[in-house]
Amino acid sequence: MKYIYFLFIFFLIMSISCACNLWTVYNKATPQTVHKSVAEIVVKNGNRFNTGTIFAVSKDKFLTASHVCDNYTKDREYELWVVQNQYMRRKSIDVPSILGQDHINDLCLLRIKDTGLVPLKFSFIPPKIGDKIFIYGFSRHTPVLTEGHILVKKIIWFNKDEPGFRAQVSSAESVGGVSGSPVINEEGFFVGVNIGSWNEFHHRSFSTRYENIKKFLGEHYVRSYF
């Protein structure tokens, strides 16, 4: 009887410990913390508008996909949509300054002042095949969170606009509007920038490789490491 009692206590303690660990990871890598760093940018041109996702990597610098920040001109209106107290809030902003743009690897660095967003840290450790990741962004003013695993570390992606570039592939789904979203590991650090999906392969997303982001941030003197 004592043996059964001790086994029961042991499994109860283990269950509580696992639950606490899972809750810690959930809090680190979901919108409960990441939403403080990520925003939707809306570019209005008359009755038309385009959207994308950006995220803070320093006090006034934001990382996104290069195709998100194309055609930023002074004759357009710009808004940021963020999550505050579980509600979407919008704020008009000046034309973002483009500090750097890499069309081949689909990266863009912006300067936007006085957003109040918290910088998201870049992982010191590159992702491995099989690592669990999350993509957090916005689709038409709605927060979107998908999860999956790293499937391929380097693939040449060809399309009609680019001659081909190396990208990471994950099983996390990508939807319209989340281009430029951070790809986040279980520790809550970003390891990629989401650049889109491939129509021929459902539930697959592509992101800029960790190594290319590291080089891009270094070239523009952004210290965003863990």
pLDDT in tens, 150-199: 887 776 655 545 555 667 888 887 777 788 999 999 888 999 999 877 66
Query: CA triplet 126, 159, 172: central angle to 5 degrees?
Result: 40
99-140, pLDDT tens digit by residue? 999 988 889 999 998 888 899 999 988 999 999 999 999 888
Q: Are 177 and 139 in contact (CB under 8 A)?
A: yes
CB 79 within 8 Å of CB 91: yes
Above 50 in pLDDT, residue 17?
Answer: no
* Cβ count near 146 (within 10 Å): 20
Q: What is the pTM of this model?
A: 0.78
Residue 81 has pLDDT above 90, yes or no: no
Helices and strands (H and E) in the chain: how many: 3, 13
Strand partners, 148: 133
CA distances from 177 to 12, 20, 92 (A): 44, 33, 19
DSSP 194-222: EEEEETTEEEEEEEE-HHHHHHHHHHTT-
- β-pair partners for 145: 136
Higher pLDDT, 95 or 2: 95
Rg (CA), the chain: 19
Cross-strand bridge partners of residue 39: 54
